[in-house]
Amino acid sequence: MKFGIVVNEGPYTHQASDSALQFARAALAKGHEIVRVFFYNDGVNNGTRLTVPPQDDRNLQKSWSELAAKHGLDLVVCIAAAQRRGVLDAGEAKRHGKDADNIAPGFRISGLGQLVEAAILADRMVTFGD
């Protein structure tokens, strides 16, 4: 079965990203396909590579990046939500005259249409948020 996952909150403050990650791992373990993980609202903050959580805590960004590399997941960060919150790739940083980018490996920035498209392509959409 094809799953689409939406993550509406950033890492650490809310459990949403942890829950979504556990759900994604379990779905993949059962042989399901994940058509896309879409990060929206504060969820875009999962996609910055500049987080430095304490050694004894989990690293959510790294976990997502590794899961994406292992399973070829499409991790999409909403461009409009990301621009509001300062999550940029090299192209966006240049376009807006910013001196740095911070997008994490395995994540890509794209439009909200990617969320609607995932909702159309997936058999089930599961949303994690506040």
Distance (Å, whole) CA 18 – CA 15: 5
Q: Which of 26, 50, 69, 90 binds another protein (CB under 8 A)?
A: 26
Show contacts with another protein in window 78-117 (CB under 8 A). Answer: 78-81, 110-117
Nearer to another protein, 73 or 78 (CB): 78
Q: Which of 12, 23, 62, 93 binds another protein (CB under 8 A)?
A: 23
Nearer to another protein, 8 or 65 (CB): 8
Rounded to a whole number of angstroms, the minimum distance from the CB of residue 90 to another protein is 19
Total residue length of the chain: 130
Q: What per-residue string of b and e applies to 79-96 under the rule 16 or more CB within 10 Å gives b?
A: bebbeebebbbeebeeee
Q: Segment near another protein (CB under 8 A), from 14-22, 55-63, 65-73, 93-101?
A: 14-22
Report the 10 Å Cβ neighbour count for 112.
14
Give bridge partners of residue 5 from the DSSP assignment. Answer: 37, 126
Q: Is 78 a catalytic residue?
A: yes
Rounded to a whole number of angstroms, the minimum distance from the CB of residue 84 to another protein is 8
Alpha-carbon radius of gyration of the chain: 14
Q: Catalytic site residues?
A: 78
